[in-house]
Structure 1
């Protein structure tokens, strides 16, 4: 195989990797991996009877998690974030104090967040518009 063919194959491979990386970063409404804290600055707290949803923004990314008002035994907790025009990205699990985070790329779109701790829950409506 000549050096020209190798260069072409390397170029095509590099182009494919670059394109897939850009799609992963730029795809609005896609979920990021769940973590334990949100990057950026806190932009909203949405309270409800048994807890609150903490909402953070960093550039076009919006991240949220639910915090129990009274930490105690493990119970079902949930959080979701939805960028306008896209499906919600939910998380649910049993926790004592707070859920893992849910993160979406919303750009300049409004978002809707929901949270639940035990029997209490909240739905924000469209925020951060």
Structure 2
């Protein structure tokens, strides 16, 4: 293999790496939520100051609240309650996210709540 062929392959490799890095940065939403919860994403509950990502797997429901803007610590919370059970709650002073919290819902409805600062969301009974 001559030097020009090696240069072409190196250039192609760098192009592929650069493009994949740019795609990773440009992907919408909070792809990192999948790192906190297993299963498939079933809902995104958006509100003025953030969003709650909801995942479901084998009868378990998991949720994480993400701040829309990451700027210092603020009060954040997330809770998931299966009908007939107590809620799993995470509340505190966070910079990026609250949770994850997971409950076993089986085939029962769940109520999901999340807040970041003064903004909040409440789903009502869902995923029935």
With normalisation by structure 1, the TM-score equals: 0.70
Distance 1:50 1:116 in 2: 8
1:68-87 counterparts in 2 under 5 A? 68-87=67-86
Cα deviation for residue 72 of structure 1 reads: 1.0
Cα deviation for residue 100 of structure 1 reads: 2.3
Aligned to 1:37: 36
Q: Which moved more, 1:42-51 or 1:87-96?
A: 87-96
Q: Is the strand fraction higher in 1 or 2?
A: 2
Deviation per residue, 1:62-115 (Å, 9 max, x gap): 000100111111111000000011111111011111112000000011100000
Distance 1:90 1:96 in 2: 17
Distance 1:94 1:100 in 2: 12
How many residue pairs match? The answer is 94
Provide runs of 4+ in structure 1 moved above 6 Å: none
1:1-129 counterparts in 2 under 5 A? 37-129=36-128
Report the RMSD for the aligned CA atoms in angstroms.
1.0
Higher relative contact order (CA 8 A, sep 6+): 1
Distance 2:116 2:109 in 1: 24
In structure 1, list runs of 5 or more residues that go unmatched.
1-35
Deviation per residue, 1:27-46 (Å, 9 max, x gap): xxxxxxxxx70011110001
With normalisation by structure 2, the TM-score equals: 0.71
